[in-house]
Amino acid sequence: MSECFSAIVGNDALCRRLASELRGDTLSHAYILEGPRGSGKHTLAKEIAMALACRERTGNRPIPCGECPACRKIRAGYSPDVITLSRPADRAFLPVDAIRDLRRSLNVVPNDLPFKVYIIADAHTMNAQAQNAFLLTLEEPPPFVLFLLLTENAGLLLETIRSRAPVLRLAPVSEQETADFLRFRCEDRQLRAAAERLAREHPDEFAAILRLSDGCIGKAEELLDEKTRAPLLERRRCVTDVAAALCAGGDGDRVLLTLFERFDNRDEATAFTLMLENALCDLVRLSRSENAPITFFTDQEAATEWAEKIPLARLLAMQKEVGKTLLALSESANLRLSAAQLFAKLYTV
């Protein structure tokens, strides 16, 4: 855990860099915070704003303190000088009008802080017109303004924007760090209690949500809700059953039935096939080395036993056919036909 930005899990080098720039007064006027959904971009943006405002930012003390009035106000979302722009729920893009409104508000001096922070969520959803309008703002901002652009893919932003705003990439955190945060550090008491209860009463489910979260704390928090995780766990169970059946070389009727059930709609068919591809990737790795790192299975010993039952060449061929099915699904192939063709390929390669 970093001595600064204590709300951020992992990413110690990134936290140290920001702390150094804050203390050295070398903070850029804009940053791009990049990471998948749930990786902590919003949390980091708020922590940066708190650190700027923190009244305890002296010497080598950890920042932000989280306890001074300025920190508490920003954390609670009450500061008029920390402004968040979000894509409207009914729009696919962040419209240019929102950026024009931002530009008009720039020269309004801060209300109760010495600076203003603009947090632009889903910055990658700005269309070309909005990005060009924002670029004009980014070239000559007032000295008291900091821009934080949150995005899942910085590559979707104009190169001219990226050249003026350093990219800070949030790395995935380990499953152990995620588990420790959920059980012991999460500020939401209900989530913390839910995590502790799940880890104690259903350790297999808890291990599964750690694996499903892909190193994103926010995603893991969402999966603590039983209604959210139930369909994902059911999909995992089906994928595991199919993978086990394929390795054993039997139970074809059950595999075919599962494929037809999962290929009922395109989104579910794609999600299921992606998960099956991940499972086969694990089996390929374990076929080569029983100590290989895996990303789908939580029981490495059982998965290794399955991998030993099937030749590596056949696993690789299956993996290739699953990849072809994913491509076909992206091109609007017939769902039931795709399920039947995948079944036939998996049992004949």
Neighbours of 230 (CB within 10 A): 12
Nearest Cα to Cα of residue 172 among 17, 40, 32? 40
CB 242 within 8 Å of CB 257: no
Q: How far apart are CA 20 and CA 29, in angstroms?
A: 15
Nearest Cα to Cα of residue 123 among 222, 217, 14, 41? 41
Residue 32 gets the label, from left (phi > 0), alpha (psi -120 to 50) or beta, of: beta
Residue 74 gets the label, from left (phi > 0), alpha (psi -120 to 50) or beta, of: alpha
Nearest Cα to Cα of residue 329 among 276, 271, 287, 285? 271
Q: What is the pLDDT of residue 137?
A: 86
CB 275 within 8 Å of CB 296: yes
Whether residues 154 and 180 fall in one domain: no
Nearest Cα to Cα of residue 179 among 141, 233, 139, 215? 215
| 4 part of a folded domain | no
Q: How far apart are CA 70 and CA 79, in angstroms?
A: 8
Nearest Cα to Cα of residue 212 among 185, 184, 175? 175
CB 50 within 8 Å of CB 78: no
Q: What is the DSSP-derived secondary structure letter of residue 64?
A: -
| 1 part of a folded domain | no
| 130 part of a folded domain | yes
Q: How far apart are CA 273 and CA 278, in angstroms?
A: 9
In sign, the C-alpha dihedral spanning 20, 23, 28, 34 is: positive
Q: What is the pLDDT of residue 81?
A: 94
Whether residues 87 and 141 fall in one domain: yes
Whether residues 212 and 130 fall in one domain: no
Domain total for the chain?
3
Q: Is residue 291 classed as helix, strand or coil in its secondary structure?
A: coil
Whether residues 17 and 164 fall in one domain: yes
Whether residues 115 and 51 fall in one domain: yes
Whether residues 45 and 69 fall in one domain: yes
| 138 part of a folded domain | yes
With DSSP H G I counted as helix, E B as strand and the rest as coil, what are the percentages for the chain, rounded to 5? 60, 5, 35
| 2 part of a folded domain | no
Kindly report the CATH number assigned to the domain that includes residue 252. 1.20.272
Whether residues 127 and 17 fall in one domain: yes
pLDDT, tens digit, 9 for 90 and up, residues 123-140: 999 988 999 999 988 888
Whether residues 100 and 234 fall in one domain: no
Q: How many residues does the chain have?
A: 349
Q: Which helix (H) or strand (E) holds 302?
A: helix 300-307
The residue among 160, 190, 224 that closes a domain is 224
| Beta-sheet strand order (sheet of 30-34) | 82-85, 116-120, 145-151, 30-34, 167-169
CB 344 within 8 Å of CB 260: no
CB 123 within 8 Å of CB 115: no
Mean pLDDT of the chain: 92
In sign, the C-alpha dihedral spanning 47, 49, 52, 57 is: negative
Q: Tell me, what amino acid is at 121?
A: A
Q: What is the pLDDT of residue 256?
A: 94
Whether residues 249 and 165 fall in one domain: no
* 3-state SS, one letter per residue, for 180-226: HHHHHHCCCHHHHHHHHHHHHHCHHHHHHHHHHCCCCHHHHHHHCCH
Whether residues 183 and 246 fall in one domain: no
| 140 part of a folded domain | yes
The residue among 185, 203, 224 that closes a domain is 224
Neighbours of 231 (CB within 10 A): 11
| 205 part of a folded domain | yes
Kindly report the CATH number assigned to the domain that includes residue 68. 3.40.50.300
Q: What is the pLDDT of residue 1?
A: 40
Q: Is residue 122 classed as helix, strand or coil in its secondary structure?
A: coil
End-to-end CA distance of the chain: 48
The pLDDT tens digits along the chain (349 residues) read 446 888 899 899 999 999 889 888 899 999 999 999 999 999 999 999 999 998 877 767 788 988 889 999 999 989 999 999 998 888 888 889 999 999 889 888 888 888 999 999 999 999 889 999 999 888 888 889 999 999 999 999 999 999 999 999 999 999 999 999 999 988 889 999 999 999 999 999 999 999 999 999 999 999 999 999 999 999 999 999 999 999 988 778 999 999 999 999 999 999 999 999 999 999 999 999 988 999 999 999 999 999 999 999 999 999 999 999 999 999 999 999 999 999 999 998 8
Q: What is the pLDDT of residue 151?
A: 95
| 249 part of a folded domain | yes
Whether residues 125 and 254 fall in one domain: no
The residue among 208, 224, 240 that closes a domain is 224
Q: Which residue has the tokens 């009727």?
A: 253
Domain hosting 77: range is 12-169
Whether residues 330 and 235 fall in one domain: yes
pTM for this predicted structure: 0.84
